[in-house]
Amino acid sequence: MAVVTPFRALRPVPEAAAKVASVPYDVVSTDEARALVRDNPLSFLRVTRSEIDLPPETNPYDAVVYDQAVRNFEDLKRAAPLMLDDTPSLYLYRLKMGTHVQTGIAGCFSLDEYEAGTIKKHERTRREKEDDRTRHILELRAQTGLVFLTYRASAGVDAIVARATSHAPLYDFVAPDEITHTVWRVEGDDLAALVHAFGAVPALYIADGHHRAASAARARATLMEGGHRSADAAALVAVAFPDTQVQILPYHRVVKDLGTRTSRTFLQSLRGRVRAADGGPTPARQGEVSMFLAGRWYRLTLPTPPPGTPRAESLDVAVLQREVLEPLLDIGDVRTDKRIDFVGGARGTGELERLVATGRAAVAFSMYPVSINDLVAIADAGGIMPPKSTWFEPKLRDGLLVHLL
């Protein structure tokens, strides 16, 4: 059963929350991060992407970057200021993007359950990214980024959340991307009731934040080796949303060149493997992919995987990989091949057209989004989804609820 534990959050005073809150460290490049903080000295990106305060040629994994993160963290504690809640609490975090609304429970979750598989994964992680966030946690003695979890919706949990969110929130602001972030603190009878009700949730699933979770586990192991065995070190700070509320957007593919083929010969070879017809920028259903090539959109109909194919290998991104990317474009491992890049659904298909029109890509593939049921089923079976399968939107903001170790 899933366990959620109250914790004492380090968080900004209400009047500073909108300025402190920052996008997750891994959704922006260094240049984009610099642009975002240019007029905002309180941005938490100065903690999570501290290389932005160092010379441009600085290696982002150099020791000076982590030293700078520690200095920036201490400076922000004073400047914002950041306050440490006096008693442990749970928090409710609501995201509103247009008409879409989702409300999750923010608290500490068990790293023992993560390692035992009660908190289920669906992605592999990259060692260098784990190394980076593990060192970040250890140097700051804090988990600064929230892991995004989901769970099968519970009527009992929903009722308590509805009651607790009827009170005045701690924070309520609209970020520059027009997403509304609202946070409540849960105390008293509602706190005890929420902990109890959540204990009946059978499993949790990592939606976004596999590297943060893996890094927290590695940091815990390092601290234990050094004799540091506090309950805080054994916990992972995260926000858990019911599966009925989360929103998955497509994760598109762009390829920089066609190898030795021209647009015409590539299209000819493609039609030997999949059905291709004139179409629009957005696929209508699973099994379809929209392709932008030489200024035109095409609708690709992927072959249906044979019966018995594992669910992860039946996803559109997996079929596209087998039928098009590898045999026609010689892209074997999308995790390491520099010729392929990925565009999260929030940027829209207009970004795909722009990349091709400006010559930064030769061809773009607009995907149909993976369903939450696919994710849960694959995780329950112990499977691994293909890289860059899901883009969850809206994103949680860093800096609002920090977990000190």
- Tens of pLDDT, residue by residue over 22-59, are 999 998 989 999 999 999 999 999 999 999 999 999 99
Please state the rounded mean pLDDT for residues 347-367: 96
Q: What 3-state class would DSSP assign to 356?
A: helix
Span 251-368: which CATH code?
3.30.1760
Q: What 3-state class would DSSP assign to 188?
A: helix
**Could you tell me the pLDDT band of residue 1, with boundaries at 50, 70 and 90?**
confident
Please state the rounded mean pLDDT for residues 202-214: 95
* pLDDT digits 0-9 by tens, 218-230: 999 999 888 777 7
Question: Could you tell me if 319 and 306 are in contact, meaning their C-beta atoms sit under 8 angstroms apart?
Answer: no
Measured distance CA(225)–CA(309) in Å, rounded:
43
Average pLDDT of every residue of the chain:
95
Q: Domain spans of the chain?
A: 4-248+393-404, 251-368
End-to-end CA distance of the chain: 24
* pLDDT digits 0-9 by tens, 326-346: 999 999 999 889 999 999 888
Against a cut of 0.85, is the pTM above it? yes
Measured distance CA(210)–CA(212) in Å, rounded:
6
Q: What is the pLDDT of residue 128?
A: 92
Measured distance CA(308)–CA(300) in Å, rounded:
23
Measured distance CA(92)–CA(104) in Å, rounded:
6
